[in-house]
Amino acid sequence: MIELNNTAARTLIVACATLLNSLAPAYEGGPTPETAPPKAPEVVPQLTSRGLHGYIASHAEGTPAEFRYGAGFYAPVWSLVARPIAGFQIGLPSTWIMPDNSDNRTEPLCPVGTMPRDSWPERGPTFDTVFQTLEGGLGYWAGNRFHYGPPKFSMNGTTDCYKHEVASPGWSFFYSSRPLPDEHLGVAQISNRLLIPPDGLPFSGTPNGELLGYAYLALPLTDARADPQPTGELSWTLFLNAANFKGPLAYYIPECWSRISRDYPIDTGRGLDARAASARVDGSMEINTVPEFVTQDADGATWSKIPELRFPVDASGRTVLVRDVALYSKSALYDAVLAWRRGGNAPAGAFNATGTIYPKVATGAVGYKQDERDIVGINEVATTAIFEDNSFGLQWSKRPSDGFGKFPQYFRDTGSTRTAVTAAQVPAALGLRQREFPKPTAQPEPYSAEPLAGAWAIPGPSAGPFTVKLVDGSTVTYYWYKFIEQPVFGQLKWSADERAALQATIERMHRAWRIDGTYMAPPRAGALVRFDANLLVMPPKGMEIGFVPIVTKQELVVKQWARPTAKP
């Protein structure tokens, strides 16, 4: 008797089965192995990042020159996608403010060695549209690390031709775990009640179209100065209007805009530190990076799938994206703050109505693209529109039964374009319908300025550390700094008197401007959204005035459970 091990046994069984199959008559089981057609290879759709691109854009028309010292509007907050998706970036309506350099027609504002000058010749000859911008707002960004469903709010300023982007008191626009170098910090926190995490500010609950108001106003918090390079007096300050926070959050120090002129004198006096905004102020959705699954059928036709994009729709079949666009002159708040600094009475904080105009808003058709091909089928479902109250948004061809308008998810190449199709039209063999887009990483790298060093440590914080857990699952560590001792000011070689003067101005703000006051005019319609309540903090005793909470770390803390001890 021959003993076989498991491997030998399996080999013998397979050989016998093969022999029997070869001897079986054709009429017993269809074609023999020699004549059977080969099995079709499984179709595996390719995952790319070019699923959708376009700008759902609006802009203010006919802006008088004196009303270019501030701009703001209200935008709805809602979950654009049903669940978080990796590598997904679409901004909900956000700002786009640039310095007015319309008097320059020939001189490049971006020096050699910057991306626009070296790689974007179409932006020449002046490169004014990519020189300096105030961007950011509501949205989803590919660099977000802590996901929870709804969008977040984030500042962003491009200070030197996109060489650096400044989005919080410590960090760039999600690009790095470590904070910006001390000499490239640009945001000074004003609020002593609301944290500014580097991953953006999350919202409470499940927002479904509630409004967030935000506006940038140029304020004279400091005087113009001649060193270390000529610097203007404009401090572009972010004001928010939410249900649980109202007022100034932070501002860009003028030096972050003038810094580029130190080695490139052509830019002297041309940055946002010294110039009002350009005539064109946008409130737009930038569809930047959307993943897609793409594959081809047996005839070589290309088919694709993108995530389902959802928009809240009202009873009239409309999605309002931007409302109550306002532009501001110096009389809105600048003049009152300057008089306050010089010994006058504290302004209430409300933007003066005589310094506010509500311009006519305009829009245009959207050119959606996928893989550089024009898309047919989205504009047919929802078109950009200006409504009777001068708000901007989408008009849907059909009012959805569930309250959410949806962009097409599936597409097929037809000639040189890509045309929307229904899910039922997609061949099942392509495997597109069942494909799920990947989730973000479960263990994101933390943002961290620790151990504190440089401007973070000298002169350093006055209290802390403190921690709080946010609705996005992250844990934030923060310290309390005296306002003028927060890291952004470490780069400035100011005198003691200059530092004391700015500190005194902020202390007056802390006393007079409360987080339940009135600053932006309230929206003409709609309810306000609420920030995550855990973003709101209270200063320690003795630090109620003149101190601010500066985030030094944001991380996902995984609780480590102790192994149970065996009973004796």
CA 568/CA 566 separation, integer angstroms: 6
pLDDT at 8: 40
The answer to whether the beta carbons of residues 236 and 134 sit under 8 Å apart is: yes
pLDDT of 281? 84
Tell me how far apart the terminal alpha carbons of the chain are, to the nearest angstrom: 54
- Cα 394 → chain centroid: 21
C-alpha count within 13 angstroms, C-beta hemisphere, residue 554: 29
Contact between 103 and 366 under an 8 Å Cβ cutoff? The reply is no
pLDDT value of residue 357: 97
| Distance of alpha carbon 252 from alpha carbon 274, whole angstroms | 13
Specify the pLDDT at position 16: 38
Among candidates 94, 75, 77, 140, which has minimal Cα distance to 307? 140
Q: Are 276 and 68 in contact (CB under 8 A)?
A: yes
Question: What is the structure's pLDDT at 566?
Answer: 47
As a whole number of angstroms, the distance between CA 156 and CA 252 comes to 10
Model pLDDT, residue 561: 52
Tokens of 386: 């200006």
pTM: 0.90
Q: Is 109 within 8 Å of 126 (Cβ atoms)?
A: yes
Return the pLDDT at 216.
97
pLDDT per residue of the chain (568 residues) written in tens, 0 to 9: 333 344 344 443 334 334 334 333 333 334 444 455 554 446 789 999 999 999 999 999 988 999 999 999 999 999 999 999 999 999 999 989 999 999 999 999 999 999 999 999 999 999 999 999 999 899 999 999 999 999 999 999 999 999 999 999 999 999 999 999 999 999 999 999 999 999 999 999 999 999 999 999 999 999 999 999 999 999 999 999 999 999 999 999 999 999 999 999 999 999 999 999 998 888 899 999 999 999 999 999 999 999 999 999 999 999 999 999 999 999 999 999 999 999 999 998 999 999 999 999 999 999 999 999 999 999 999 999 999 999 999 999 999 999 999 999 999 999 999 999 999 999 999 999 999 999 999 999 999 999 999 999 999 999 999 999 999 999 999 999 999 999 999 999 999 999 999 999 999 999 999 999 999 999 999 999 999 999 999 999 999 999 999 999 999 987 655 455 444 4
Tokens of 345: 């009475």
- Residues 144 and 310 sit within 8 Å (Cβ to Cβ): no
Nearest to 98 by CA among 271, 240, 266: 271
pLDDT for position 535: 98
Tokens, residue 197: 């995490």
